[in-house]
């Protein structure tokens, strides 16, 4: 995976698994800004902001151009708030203290490349090990939004169709339609909108050192996967049911 991310110009920090923050609270916030123009054309907004939070104190950081550093300051000094009370700016460091967050990592993607990445606080407070742009955090469901951006980009390039049978695109594994209670096909539109009627709400993940399953083992619920098979619960398009299993397809 690390080799693949390097080939795609995405640093290892993009995947964010935090390996050693004992007894910490991990909060993941993902902000994806997309601008949609009309039903025939989709324009993806060029900035994708990823934040993964885990308590306070800022570490030494790489430097960028003056223009990029200015944009970094806007992120650090201009956080939003649920209720507007005054014009006092909300600082990233203050918000970390408020929520008891030991460390966080931010990466901003512009034009499908990492424009800047920076870590704040501690990856391990007990040893004072700082978070850097290379600190690994668990991506978890943040990957769903990234996946959706990639799919929509391929749709925009006419390489995928949101309304075709998913088995049109699957090669090494096909969805077993004999498990469907109804007769409707499952499409990318169903999967991205969580209306495909598929099982597996979420995944527990795997600890460092545990054997990792292949994607096909996960889809079939085979060891060493620790989740059930991805199958149908109800006919596609009839209601919303969040499914990490569907996104895995």
Sign of the alpha-carbon torsion through 227, 231, 234, 238 = positive
Q: Which band of pLDDT confidence, cut at 50, 70 and 90, is reported for residue 77?
A: confident
**Closest of 150, 137, 141 to residue 15, by C-alpha:** 137
Residue that wins the pLDDT comparison between 80 and 181: 80
Residue with tokens 């995944």: 203
pLDDT at 37: 30
The pLDDT of residue 59:
47
Which residues have C-beta within 8 Å of that of residue 26, sequence separation ≥ 6? 18, 52, 53, 54, 137, 138
β-pairing verdict for 35-38 and 41-43: antiparallel
Q: What is the pLDDT of residue 139?
A: 81
What DSSP character marks residue 244? H
Reported confidence tier of residue 41, pLDDT bands at 50, 70, 90 = very low
- Asked whether residue 3 carries a pLDDT value surpassing 80, the answer given is no
φ and ψ at 38, to 5 degrees?
Answer: -150, 180
Q: Which residue, among 33, 34, 106, 42, has the nearest Cα to 68 in the 3D structure?
A: 106
pLDDT at position 130 over 70: yes
- Kindly report, residue by residue over 172-194, the tens digit of the pLDDT: 999 998 766 657 899 999 999 99
Per-residue pLDDT reduced to its tens digit, 139-155: 888 889 989 999 999 99
Asked whether the whole model's pTM tops 0.85, one would answer no
Confidence of residue 205 (pLDDT cuts 50, 70, 90): confident
Mean pLDDT (the chain) is 77
Query: Would you list the domain boundaries of the chain?
Result: 2-141, 161-249
pLDDT the model gives residue 180: 63
Task: Report the pLDDT value the prediction gives residue 181, as an integer from 0 to 100.
Answer: 60
């Amino acid at each position: 995976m690390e080799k693949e991310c390097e080939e795609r110009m995405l640093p290892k920090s993009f995947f964010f698994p935090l390996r050693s923050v004992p007894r910490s609270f991990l909060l993941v916030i993902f902000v994806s800004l997309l601008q949609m123009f009309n039903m025939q054309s989709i324009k993806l907004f060029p900035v994708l902001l990823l934040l993964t939070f885990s308590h306070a104190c800022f570490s030494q950081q790489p430097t960028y151009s003056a223009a990029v550093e200015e944009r970094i300051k806007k992120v650090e000094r201009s956080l939003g708030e649920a209720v507007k009370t005054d014009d006092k700016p909300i600082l990233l460091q203050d918000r970390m203290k408020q929520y008891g967050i030991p460390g966080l990592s931010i990466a901003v993607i512009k034009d499908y490349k990492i424009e800047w990445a920076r870590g704040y606080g501690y990856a391990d407070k007990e040893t004072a090990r700082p978070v850097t742009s290379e600190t690994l955090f668990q991506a978890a469901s943040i990957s769903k939004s990234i996946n959706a951006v990639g799919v929509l980009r391929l749709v925009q390039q006419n390489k995928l169709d949101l309304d075709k049978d998913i088995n049109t695109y699957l090669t090494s594994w096909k969805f077993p339609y004999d498990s469907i209670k109804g007769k409707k096909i499952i499409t990318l539109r169903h999967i991205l909108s969580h209306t495909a009627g598929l099982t597996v709400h979420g995944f527990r993940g795997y600890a460092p050192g545990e054997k990792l399953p292949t994607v096909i083992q996960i889809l079939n619920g085979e060891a060493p996967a620790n989740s059930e098979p991805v199958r149908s619960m109800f006919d596609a398009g009839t209601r919303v049911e969040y499914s990490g299993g569907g996104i895995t397809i």
